[in-house]
Structure 1
Amino acid sequence: MSDSTRGIPRREFMKAAVAIGGSAALSACLDRGGMPDVPKGPNDLSTLPERQHAWNRFLKNDEHGNDVAPRHQVLLFLNYAGASNATPTQSERETTESAFKSLERAYRRSHDGLLFSVGYSPSYFTRFGADNVLPKPKSLASFEDPKLDKQDAVVHLASDHAQLVLAAEEALLGNRNELNGVDVTGLSAVFNKADRRTGFVGDGLPADHQDVNGIPDSNPVPKESPLYMGFKSGFKKNQASEDSVTIQDGPFAGGTTQHVSNISLHLDQWYEQDSRDQRVAKMFCPVHAEEGRVEGAGDNLGDSSGMGDDCIGEVEEHARKRGMVGHSQKSAGARKDDSPVILRRDFDSTDGGEAGLHFVAVQRTIADFERTRESMNGEDLAGNSSVGQRVNNGILQYMTVERRGNFLVPPRSLRSLPNPNRD
C-alpha cells in the first residue's frame, strides 16, 4: 500500500487493508493508526468457553439487545500439509494447539479483541476413513451451480479492529512471532494456505464501499445500513441460540456445524427499478410494506423482524394474490417449535471487486441449514402462483451462490486436527 492511501478516510483504509491482506497491508495499518490498546487474554485459558462458537456473550449489543457482529472478518482456508492419505501426528496437533492458544493469550476474547473458530471439512475427515461425520456440500437449489469447497479447514477471524484480524492471520501463517507483547507460533509447519475471503459488517461500512461491481453507480446503499441490501439482519428473536445449535452427543458433543457460502450480489434492479416498498416486501413480507412497519434499515423493529401469523401463515396466499413473498417470511417456515434453527454470522465483501456476501451460519446439523435453504427457495410457490422461481420470490433474483462448504467446529479441547476415531 503506497503513500497515495494517505487521503483515504481511516474507515475505508482499514477495510481495504483487510481485503488486501499480508504483511504489507498490516504494516500500512500500523503506520496509519498503530495497534489498538487491547487487553491480553487470560493467563488461565481454561476459563474460556469450551464451545468455540460461544461468541455471543463477548459481543456488544444494540439498544434492543441484538448482538452486534464484529466489523472486520476473515475466512482463512487451510489444507493439511501432509500427504493426501496421511493422518496428522500428535506432534502436529501440539503445534496447532500452541498456535491457537497463543492467539488466545495475545488478545482477550471480545468484539474489540479477537474472536475466532476453526472448523474441519468432510474432506479432512475422509483421511480417517470417517465419511459420516458431516455431509459433503452440494447445490441446494435447482437454479444454482456452486463450486464446492473441499479445503481441510477454515479459520474464522473477527474483530472490530482491522489490525487485529490481519495480525492474527499473519501469526497463523507464520509471518509474526509476537502479538500484543505475547510470543506466538504459527501453523505453517502443519497447514498450507488455500484461500482467504474477507469482509465487513456494520453501520456505514457498506455505503463506504459500494464502488464495486454489482451495485449501481448512483451510490444507493443507505449510510445507516449494516449490509449492502439496505436492511439489518441478526435480530435476536430470529437467531437460534448457541445452546440450540450445539451438538448434544457423539464424539464432537459441545461443538457445532458450520456452513460457509460465497454469494455474489446483483443490486442494479434492487435499487434502480424496485421501489422502497417492493424492497421491504421482498426482504421481509408484503404486510410490512403495506403497513409501513420498516423504517430506514429496520432498527425500529427492535429485536425481531416481526414474522407473525400474518406473514408466516400467509405465504401461499401472498404468492397467489399479491404475486410476491418475502425472504424472512419464507425462511421463518424452517423454524422448529417456533424457534429459529440457524445462527447467522454473515458479512458483506468486496473480494474480487464484486459486491458479495459471505454467508456463515452455525447450526446443530447441516440438515438444519438445508431445510432453511429449502424454505428460502420457495420452489412450491413458484409452481402454484404467479411468483417465479426467482422473480418476486424473496431476494433470490439478486444473488448467485458461487461456493458452498460444510465444516464441523469441534469444542476447543478437540479443535486441533481432531481424530474422529479416538477412543
Structure 2
Amino acid sequence: MEAAYPFSPSGVFTFVSYGLPYFNRLPKRLVQAYMPSLRKDPSRFALEESISYPTDYPQQKKKTFNVPVVIEKNDVLLTLRSDSLENIHDILKWLQGSNSLRGKALRSPHFKGLFTFTSSRIMFQQIGLPRKVAHQFHLPYASRVNPKSPMWMGFADQQTSASGPAEIVTFQGNSSARFASLPDDYFKNGAIQHLSHVIQDMSQFYGKDEPYTERVQYMFRSDPIPSLGNPKDQFANGGGPCFFANDASIFLQYREQGVTEASQTGRDIGKLGDGVNKVNDPQPATSPNAGDVGKVRPRMGHLPALQQSSRAPDGTPIHIRMDGPGFDDMDVPDGSIQAKLQFTIFVPTADFFTTMRINQAALKYQQRENANGKSTSLGVEADANGIERFLSATRRQNFLVPPRSHRVFPLRELLD
C-alpha cells in the first residue's frame, strides 16, 4: 500500500493495531515477557479490553438511540487516512481481491482465510463539511449546524493545545507523564488505540430547549461561559462562534488552588431543587428555564469533566484524538442514516482511557433521581451535565498499536 501511495495526506497514512484476540493466539509466556505493564500495578498490562461505561446503554437510558454497546473481538484494526476517499476505497478493494492498485495490475493478497473483514467505517474531516452533508440530506437541524465547524456538534478546538506530544501517549511516556513500564524495547514508541462507534442525537442536541448558551456550556465550561453567542438568534448557523482555545490555563488555575475545575463547577451548596454554585457564570437571559436566569447553578462541561485526569500536572494533554464525523446507518435501530462520531484516540494505557472515560461522565457530580425523576440529592442536574446524553456508543474495543518496526504480526517472529 505504501509503495503505491506516498505516506502523506495526498497518498495514505496507515496504522495497524492489534486487539487482545490476536495476542491470545500467542503463547502466554511470550506475551507476558514483552507486553508493557502498568507502573501503578505491574500485575496488569497496558492493553486491557474495553468495558461498557456508566453512560453506555443499558447502564444509562438515552432519549432516542438505546443500543446496547458491543465490546468487539477483532484481531486487527487497519486505520487508513487520506485527503482522497478514492485512495482509501482503492486500497480496500485491493485488500479484498480487486488485483488492482492505483490503476495498475497488482495481485491482491491471498489471505487464505487468515482475515475476515468484519466492518468498515468512514469518517470525514473538513471545515464546514457536516453542514454541507446536513443540507444535502435535508436533515431537520441542518440550518443549526455551524457552517464553519468540522464537527456535527458545531464546535471545535485545536490539536495544538488540546492534544499531547506524540511521546506522552507512548508506553515510555515523557517527562510530563509516564503510565507504563517496558520490560524490553520491543514495544517502545507503541501506544493504546481505543476505537468506538457513536450515534449522535443531533435532533436532541439542536432542540428548541438547547440554545447556543446551553450547548457551549455542555461542550466547554461555565466558568466562564466561553461566549453568549447571538442574543437575537441562538440557533441559526449554530447561534454563535464555534472555535475556542482549549489550552491549560484554566486547568492550571484550579490546580494551583489544589482542586479540579470539575469539583468546583459541579459543586452544589444550595438546597434540594435549588442548586447554587460559587464559581460559575450566572445563567444568561437565553436560558431555556426562566427560573435559572441570573442564578449561579452547578454545571458540568465536557472539558472540566475530561480534565480530571486527561492532563499531566504541568497541563500537558495525555492523549491524541484522531476521530471525526461519520454519516451512516450502522447500528441504528430503524436503519436510518444518522450523524456519527467515529471515535479513536491514542493513549498510554487502556487503564488511563478507562479512568478518563469514567471521569468524562462526571456522574459523581450529578444529582440522583428517584423513579419519578425527582432529585434526591444535591449536584448538577442531569440535563446540565456535559454531552453524554446526546451520545450512544454501540461498539468499543481497545488495541495495541506497535512501533512501525514491529507492526506486522508483533511477537510472531519470536516463536521460532
- Would you call these one fold, judging by a TM-score over 0.5? yes
- The alignment partner of 2:196 has SS state of strand
- The alignment partner of 2:130 has SS state of helix
Give the letter aligned to residue 212 of structure 2. R
Query: Which residue pairs with 2:409 in the alignment?
Result: 417
Cα 1:307–1:267 shift into 2, 3 Å: farther
What is the percent sequence identity of the aligned residues?
24
CA contact (8 A) 2:218 2:301 kept: yes
CA contact (8 A) 1:128 1:421 kept: no
Listed as ranges, the gaps of 5+ residues in structure 2 are 36-46, 58-67, 173-181, 230-238, 269-276, 278-296, 330-336, 368-376
Q: How does 1:263-302 map to 2 (within 5 A)?
A: 263-272=198-207, 273-289=209-225, 292=228, 296-298=241-243, 301-302=244-245
Query: Which residue pairs with 2:298 in the alignment?
Result: 323
Give the letter aligned to residue 155 of structure 2. F
CA apart distance, 1:242: 0.9
CA contact (8 A) 1:234 1:344 kept: no
C-alpha distance in 1 between matches for 2:247 and 2:97: 43
RMSD over equivalenced CA pairs, Å: 2.9
Cα 1:290–1:116 shift into 2, 3 Å: closer
- The alignment partner of 1:225 has SS state of coil
CA apart distance, 1:302: 4.9
Out of 183-192 and 367-376, give the one that drifted further. 183-192
Q: How does 1:172-251 map to 2 (within 5 A)?
A: 172-179=95-102, 183=106, 185-186=108-109, 188-189=111-112, 190-210=114-134, 216-248=140-172, 249=182, 250=184, 251=186
CA apart distance, 1:386: 3.3
Q: How many residues align?
A: 318
Return the TM-score normalized by structure 1.
0.68
CA contact (8 A) 1:206 1:226 kept: yes
Query: Which residue pairs with 1:392 in the alignment?
Result: 384
> Which among 31, 36, 53 is matched to residue 140 of structure 1?
53
Question: Counting helix residues as a fraction of each chain, which structure ranks higher?
Answer: 1
Listed as ranges, the gaps of 5+ residues in structure 1 are 1-102
Cα 1:296–1:311 shift into 2, 3 Å: farther
CA contact (8 A) 2:55 2:361 kept: no
Give the letter aligned to residue 372 of structure 1. M
C-alpha distance in 1 between matches for 2:223 and 2:138: 28
CA contact (8 A) 2:248 2:316 kept: no
Query: Which residue pairs with 1:336 in the alignment?
Result: 312
Query: Which residue pairs with 1:257 in the alignment?
Result: 192
CA apart distance, 1:375: 1.5
CA apart distance, 1:374: 1.7
CA contact (8 A) 1:260 1:405 kept: yes
- The alignment partner of 1:243 has SS state of helix
Query: Which residue pairs with 1:404 in the alignment?
Result: 396
CA contact (8 A) 1:245 1:364 kept: yes
Return the TM-score normalized by structure 2.
0.69
C-alpha distance in 2 between matches for 1:222 and 1:311: 31
Cα 1:126–1:219 shift into 2, 3 Å: same
Q: How does 1:43-58 map to 2 (within 5 A)?
A: none
Q: Which has the larger radius of gyration?
A: 2
C-alpha distance in 2 between matches for 1:420 and 1:339: 35
